Structure 1
Amino acid sequence: MCWPPASLLGRLRRPDAEALLGLGRPVTFPAQLRVMRQGDAVPHSLLVIQGVVKVVVDTERGRDVVVAVRGPGDLLGEMSTLEHRPRSAHVLTCSPVQARAIHSTDLAQFLARNAEVCLAVARMLSERLRSADRKGIDFVVCPAPVRVVRVLLDVVQQHGSCTSAGWEIGIPLSQAEIASMAGTGLSTVEKAFRRLESAGVLGRRYRRVLIVDLPGLRRFGELPGGIP
């Protein structure tokens, strides 16, 4: 199987990826199921094989915030394993998911024996930290519509697929969830979508968002041209 390059499995040489896939036990989940709960101390991680999940954090003000979307080849819950701390977020399935449930002890021992995999995990966590830093800067310096566009670009880059009609974002995200990821309100997302549609950059089909002009979307996101 060809794993997305940004995923953990996509970063590994084939023998290392196969060794990691040999850990744990296979599990399957239906769509719209909470498979990890914030605050729990359940001692396992999930290695996603098929499907997409959302990472959601409960805030002190009672509002759920979508902080990330993960897909095939991604490892979930590794921070609890490495830090020996409770879960920092919920994980909810966006679609039916197949995964490997790996006990924390087994994962820690595997990483201790495999320097290349351990380094790949460190690089993955470093990139996630850089992404979080960038989003924090975007929140300060970028107008809300620009942040909405950058969320779309991030999702397309990680999970999108190119079709004859354009780029599909590849996962079922509601406008409210996009607003949460962009740190803005639903009305801002609705206005941004209408503007993008009027400009011929974005199209909408039944429960699907289609990026008709990806370089144009990057211009709306105030980023250099080209495909991400």
Structure 2
Amino acid sequence: MKAQTWPARSLLGRLRPRDAEALLELGTLVAYPAQHRLIRQGDAGRHSLLVLRGSAKVIVDTERGRDVVIAVRGPGDLLGEMATLEHRPRSAHVIACAAVEARVIRSTELAEFLCRAPEACLAVARMLSERLRSADRRGIDFVVCPAPVRVVRVLVEISQHHGVSTAAGWDLGIPLSQTEIASMAGTGLSTVEKVFRKLETEGVLHRHYRRVMITDLDGLRRFGEFPAGIPY
């Protein structure tokens, strides 16, 4: 796959072709089936995963016994780099939403690559900064936004990062259940059901089993009540 075909917001999409090609030469190519646990929370961070195909969800086990979906990742994304670079235990599970093909890169390989490729190192820093902004924004949304707005904002975020343009609209790009979307929005399944029914009635989206097709992205953003002047 050529570098320019990677999603722009992914790590591979941020890199110059030369650095992307060098990163793609690292590690070992591995394939995982859907629902396979790619990374286990609490394990030692001895490697990272560079996703080539497929998608995965990032899940945290909380002290109250509830699993929380905090993010989704797709082609071109790097997984597990925080524990790898910090030499600390994994902070979350990563589970394949669909079949995943990835390169398993040892921590020493990744560190050596970043040392000799300063622009790639900067791209990783920018990627981590963007993820931190996203986490901060979602925390603020949880305090100030009603649950239906949070659900819509999760849909907008996923479509911006992973959506696939088709003749019928924007396929969300990640096969997530409504329960998982509810978890990302910090609300209950019944709220997601109500929001989806309203959005379908308004002609903003259509849904199928674990798939969502957004037919009016501008309309979806209006339901998300994004304020002017705030870089969400």
Alignment TM class, shorter chain as reference: over 0.9
Tell me if 1:185 matches 2:188: yes
Alignment partners' CA distance in 2, 1:194 and 1:11: 37
Alignment partners' CA distance in 2, 1:54 and 1:29: 14
Aligned to 2:127: 124
**3-state DSSP of counterpart to 1:5:** coil
Tell me if 1:144 matches 2:147: yes
Aligned to 1:170: 173
Aligned to 1:93: 96
Is the Cα–Cα contact under 8 Å of residues 201 and 216 in structure 1 kept in the other structure? yes
Identity of aligned residues (%): 73
1:207 shift after superposition: 3.7
Letter in 2 for 1:212: T
Letter in 1 for 2:128: L
Aligned to 2:14: 11
User: Structure 1 pair 124/193, CA: closer, same or farther in 2 (3 Å)?
Assistant: same
Aligned to 1:134: 137
**3-state DSSP of counterpart to 1:47:** strand
Tell me if 1:205 matches 2:208: yes
More displaced, 108-117 or 45-54?
Answer: 108-117
Q: 1:77 aligns with which of 71, 75, 80?
A: 80
1:210 shift after superposition: 1.3
Alignment partners' CA distance in 1, 2:158 and 2:217: 12
1:163 shift after superposition: 1.5
RMSD: 1.4
Letter in 1 for 2:202: A
Alignment partners' CA distance in 1, 2:209 and 2:77: 28
Letter in 1 for 2:103: R
**3-state DSSP of counterpart to 1:85:** coil
Question: What is the CA deviation profile of residues 170-198 of structure 1, one whole-angstrom value per residue up to 9, with x for unaligned ones?
Answer: 11100000000001111110111111111
Please list every run of 5 or more consecutive structure 2 residues that lacks an aligned counterpart in the other structure. none
Is the Cα–Cα contact under 8 Å of residues 35 and 92 in structure 1 kept in the other structure? yes
More displaced, 91-100 or 156-165?
Answer: 156-165
User: Structure 1 pair 186/162, CA: closer, same or farther in 2 (3 Å)?
Assistant: same
TM-score (norm 1): 0.96
Aligned to 1:156: 159
Aligned to 2:217: 214
1:42 shift after superposition: 4.4
Alignment partners' CA distance in 2, 1:5 and 1:138: 25
Instruction: Return structure 1 stretches of 4+ with deviation > 6 angstroms.
Output: none
Q: 1:43 aligns with which of 46, 65, 69?
A: 46
Aligned residues: 226
Is the Cα–Cα contact under 8 Å of residues 49 and 98 in structure 1 kept in the other structure? yes
Aligned to 1:106: 109
Alignment partners' CA distance in 1, 2:24 and 2:210: 33
Alignment partners' CA distance in 1, 2:69 and 2:199: 23
Alignment partners' CA distance in 1, 2:44 and 2:118: 26
Aligned to 2:32: 29
1:206 shift after superposition: 4.1
1:39 shift after superposition: 0.1
Aligned to 1:194: 197
**3-state DSSP of counterpart to 1:87:** coil
1:205 shift after superposition: 2.9
Alignment partners' CA distance in 1, 2:41 and 2:133: 23
